[in-house]
Amino acid sequence: MNVMAKAEKKISSAFIYFFGSFGGILFGYDIGVMTGALPFLQADWHLENAASLVGWITSAVMFGAIFGGALAGQLSDKFGRRKMILMSAIVFMVFSVLSGVSPDMGEASAYYLIIVRMLLGLAVGAASALVPAYMSEMAPAKARGRLSGLNQTMIVSGMLLSYVVDFLLKDLPGEWAWRLMLGLAAVPALILFLGVLRLPESPRFLLRKGDEAQARKVLSYIRKNPAEIDQELASIKETAKEERQANQKTSWSTLFSGKYRYLVIAGVGVAAFQQFQGANAIFYYIPLIVQKATGQAASSNLMWPIVQGVILVVGSLVYMWIADKFNRRTLLMVGGAVMGLSFILPAVINWMMPNMNPMTIVVFLCIYVAFYSFTWAPLTWVLVGEIFPLAIRGRASGLASSFNWIGSWLVGLIFPIMTASMPQEAVFAIFGIICILGVIFVKTCVPETRGHTLEEIEEQGTNYGRVKASNPEN
């Protein structure tokens, strides 16, 4: 035990924050890698006219992630955030390799890959739920938006990495290209596993389990002021004391009790809207989108994903700069409004000028990605990590992650089917309307969390719930 304690003292806050958020690399790599692999996979397995199979292969990871997020969130309340992140890395490594060595058995190959990618999705969904919860519990309130935003920077860096790998491998024989693209996802998973081995457990989880001494030690790694440590421990302990006094037993029904309902609806709603707004339609299918707009082969359009990836990384850095300078709600509403217009305007322009340049839609998609990158993309995970009270954080984060992945799965599944039956402009206009509905949701249902401790946010949600109960018309 003493040897472990001495080793833990050498852990720097930078190391903790870096590897605490590194799970986003896995999330991002798998979001992006199929973008480049898909054109080669389609050609290799002759799936050019199989829109449903293409949709399932692409979206299988998101389908698995629906369950991975919920399961990991629940298990993390019992075993801890750190252990579940380690398990996610192992699962990710195994099924990334199995994806790359998919047997060539005709149509059966597609079903094999769908099943393997569903199981891979368990790890992706777990990472999407665990990383924001871990980062929010490690970060101080005044810097939580910026540090939690590291998760988004990691996600988009993983996406850009996958786009670059896809581009570098595009000249290999088609069969080898897509197999290496998918299999190399095991490398960041191994790096994550080795890094997380040295990470401490979340202080809030430790205190919840009664280990105050270890919780204080962990906080000493990431808080410089002893008075701040004492104050934070006291605040967490007070919340835990209230829970014990109420003899609360958390269950799924607890999430929708009067005390927590408002915050759960807000967090889950934002997570769902982020995906139903259609961002992943761009990230998964941008080569095919450009192909349909210009007639050029999708496999020759792999520079466009890199362009999108660069925009996403720059946007995530912009977010880290402005994260704690603007209210969360303000950024979400401004971003959602511009994103909605970026989807709707091409349809309007095409209706007014039927001969418009086909690349116009791609330009508007870049505007969408730019605003998405520093508003809805990072803020969704910041809110999911900070809006839920300690008693329900694991389950609620898992539920929000699952709804997020339901949206991602449906978008990934139906987008190729929709574009096969209607103009691309009309499909994106539908997503644009959803973006505007998301703005309305934020305006009416989401509380402001910037600068508040996690315990203050819980009290704010409890008080709001009481007001709504006594004044249902407000």
Q: Could you give the CA distance from residue 154 to residue 146 in angstroms, rounded to a whole number?
A: 13
Whole-number Cα distances in Å, 146 to 151, 174, 451: 10, 41, 11
What pLDDT is recorded for position 474?
43
CA proximity to 32, closest of 278, 306, 299: 306
Contacts (Cβ under 8 Å, ≥6 apart) of 86: 193, 196, 197
Alpha-carbon torsion angle 280, 283, 288, 293, nearest 10: 90
| Banded pLDDT at 239 (limits 50, 70, 90) | low
Q: Could you give the CA distance from residue 467 to residue 352 in angstroms, rounded to a whole number?
A: 48
Whole-number Cα distances in Å, 100 to 64, 114, 120, 187, 262: 18, 12, 12, 13, 43
Query: What are 361-407's pLDDT values in tens digits?
Result: 888 999 999 999 999 988 887 788 778 877 777 678 778 877 887 88
Query: In this structure, are residues 141 and 451 in contact, taking their beta carbons and an 8 Å threshold?
Result: yes
Q: Average pLDDT for residues 163-180, to the nearest whole number? A: 88
Q: Could you give the CA distance from residue 74 to residue 129 in angstroms, rounded to a whole number?
A: 10
Q: Is pLDDT at 147 greater than 70 in this prediction?
A: no
What pLDDT is recorded for position 222?
75
Choose the most confident range, by mean pLDDT, from 153-157, 225-229, 247-251, 275-279. Answer: 275-279
Q: Could you give the CA distance from residue 389 to residue 261 in angstroms, rounded to a whole number?
A: 11
Q: Output the pTM of the full model.
A: 0.77
What are the backbone angles phi and psi of residue 447, rounded to the nearest 5°? -80, 160
CA angle 69, 72, 77 (to 5 degrees): 130
Q: Average pLDDT for residues 123-139, to the nearest whole number? A: 79
| Residues of the chain above pLDDT 70, percent | 87
Query: In this structure, are residues 110 and 60 in contact, taking their beta carbons and an 8 Å threshold?
Result: no
Can you say whether residue 248 is alpha, beta or left, with left for phi > 0 and alpha for psi between -120 and 50 degrees? beta
What pLDDT is recorded for position 331?
94
Q: Is pLDDT at 210 greater than 70 in this prediction?
A: yes
What pLDDT is recorded for position 408?
86
Q: Which of 222-226, 249-253, 330-334, 409-413 has the least mean pLDDT?
A: 249-253
| Banded pLDDT at 7 (limits 50, 70, 90) | very low
Q: Which of 85-89, 210-214, 390-394 has the least mean pLDDT?
A: 390-394
| Banded pLDDT at 107 (limits 50, 70, 90) | confident
Q: Is pLDDT at 245 greater than 70 in this prediction?
A: no
What pLDDT is recorded for position 248?
53
Residue 46 burial by Cβ neighbours in a 10 Å radius (0-12, 13-18, 19+): exposed
Going from the N-terminus, what domains does the chain have, and what CATH number goes with each? 18-470 (1.20.1250.20)
Instruction: Name the amino acid, one letter, at 164.
Output: V
Choose the most confident range, by mean pLDDT, from 15-19, 58-62, 221-225, 397-401. Answer: 58-62
What pLDDT is recorded for position 471?
52
Can you say whether residue 223 is alpha, beta or left, with left for phi > 0 and alpha for psi between -120 and 50 degrees? beta
Choose the most confident range, by mean pLDDT, from 15-19, 36-40, 366-370. Answer: 366-370
Query: What are 445-463's pLDDT values in tens digits?
Result: 888 887 777 667 767 666 6
Choose the most confident range, by mean pLDDT, from 73-77, 245-249, 261-265. Answer: 261-265
What pLDDT is recorded for position 273?
95
Q: Which of 78-87, 258-267, 293-302, 422-431 has the least mean pLDDT?
A: 293-302
Q: Average pLDDT for residues 323-339, to the nearest whole number? A: 91
Q: Which of 114-123, 139-148, 354-363 has the least mean pLDDT?
A: 139-148
Q: Could you give the CA distance from residue 400 to residue 177 in angstroms, rounded to a whole number?
A: 35
Q: What is the mean pLDDT of the chain?
A: 82
Query: In this structure, are residues 68 and 122 in contact, taking their beta carbons and an 8 Å threshold?
Result: yes
| Residues of the chain above pLDDT 90, percent | 25
What pLDDT is recorded for position 39?
85
Q: Annotate the chain with three-state secondary structure.
A: CHHHHHHHHCCCHHHHHHHHHCHHHHHHHHHHHHHHHHHHHHHHHCCCCCHHHHHHHHHHHHHHHHHHHHHHHHHHHHHCHHHHHHHHHHHHHHHHHHHHCCCCCCHHHHHHHHHHHHHHHHHHHHHHHHHHHHHHHHCCHHHHHHHHHHHHHHHHHHHHHHHHHHHHHCCCCHHHHHHHHHHCCHHHHHHHHHHHCCCCCCHHHHHHCCCHHHHHHHHHHHCCCHHHHHHHHHHHHHHHHHHHHCCCCCCHHHHHCCCCHHHHHHHHHHHHHHHHCCHHHHHHHHHHHHHHHHCCCHHHCCHHHHHHHHHHHHHHHHHHHHCCCCCHHHHHHHHHHHHHHHHHHHHHHHHHCCCCCCCHHHHHHHHHHHHHHHCHHHHHHHHHHHCCCHHHHHHHHHHHHHHHHHHHHHHHHHHHHHHHHCCHHHHHHHHHHHHHHHHHHHHHHCCCCCCCCHHHHHHHHHHHHHHHHHCCCC
Q: Could you give the CA distance from residue 97 to residue 186 in angstroms, rounded to a whole number?
A: 6
Higher pLDDT, 23 or 190: 190
